[in-house]
Amino acid sequence: MKVKLSPSMMCADLLRLRETLHTFEEEQIEYLHMDIMDGQFVPNYMLGTDYVSRIRRISDIPLDLHLMIEEPEKKLGWFSPEKEDLVSIHVESTRHLQKVLDGIRQCGARPVAAVNPGTPLCMLEEIINEIDGVLVMTVNPGFSGQKLVPGTLDKIRRLRGYLDQKGREEVFIEVDGNVSIENAVRMREAGADIFVAGTSCLFTDGDLAEHIRTFRREVR
């Protein structure tokens, strides 16, 4: 699978949002990663429904909705998922995982199962045929600027092996947290396809377009 970039919009400079989105369109960015946090599932609040719908109005790039919320089955409709959007549900966040993944499919969007660093891969066993991708958290969710949890690299590798062995070669692996270029090279080598790009690679000093080009050159 080709490497895809999903910049983390919680890390973007709000005062330069239009310019940032313009650069993303010019550089053919594949997804916009929207971190939704409810202060319950994770100890932080982030990106509300109005922000999501405004971004949708001013950009044609598909959204990558990362729901870090309790009872996502009750709130999916708040975000009006659309065709081509990715919607990630944490397996730790709901008792109704199959139902909510199926709900995403019914909206025409693409269901993704997210796993925290401490969550074993066996949690995916019963829903492996319901998903288009797995989001492997490479830090504990809630905050940008954290350090990679080292064991997650091997977890990506084991997940790729597991998916292939089950005949699910087309299921992508997305990685989120401390995706620096150096870590991304190792994540790619382990089997990652979609990279959530936050403060570790894109939203840092220097030119945004240049950072994107460097990433694409180094991570293949």
Applying CB under 6 A, the residues found at the interface with ligand DX5 are 8, 10-11, 35, 139, 141, 144-146, 176-179, 196, 198-200
d(CA 219, CA 214): 8
| Type of residue found at 13 | D
Instruction: Please identify which of the residues 64, 85, 132, 176 carries the catalytic annotation.
Output: 176
Closer CB to ligand DX5, residue 100 or residue 202?
A: 202
Instruction: State yes or no: is 176 an active-site residue.
Output: yes
Stretch that binds Zn ion, among 13-21, 32-40, 79-87, 197-205 (CB under 5 A): 32-40
85 binds Zn ion (CB under 5 A): no
Closer CB to ligand DX5, residue 11 or residue 219?
A: 11
Instruction: State yes or no: is 13 an active-site residue.
Output: no
Cβ-based neighbours of 51, under 8 Å, separated by 6 or more? 34
- Residue 37 CB: number of other CB atoms within 10 A? 21
* Cβ-proximal residue to ligand DX5, closest one: 198
Cβ-based neighbours of 197, under 8 Å, separated by 6 or more? 5, 6, 7, 8, 33, 179, 203, 215
Report residue 97 as tokens: 């995982």
Of the residues 116, 176, 211, 219, which one makes contact with Zn ion according to CB under 5 A:
176
Contact mark string toward Zn ion, 52..71, x via CB under 5 A: --------------x-----
Closer CB to Zn ion, residue 85 or residue 176?
A: 176
Least spacing, CB of residue 141 vs Zn ion, in Å: 6
d(CA 21, CA 60): 10
The three-state secondary structure class of 143 is coil
Name the binder of 11 from ligand DX5, Zn ion, none, CB < 5-8 A by kind.
ligand DX5
Number of residues that bind Zn ion (CB under 5 A): 3
- List, as one string, the DSSP characters of 61-113: SPEEEEEE-S-GGGTGGGG---TT-EEEEETTS-S-HHHHHHHHHHTTSEEEE
- Give the binding site for Zn ion (CB under 5 A): 35, 66, 176
Catalytically active residues are 35, 176
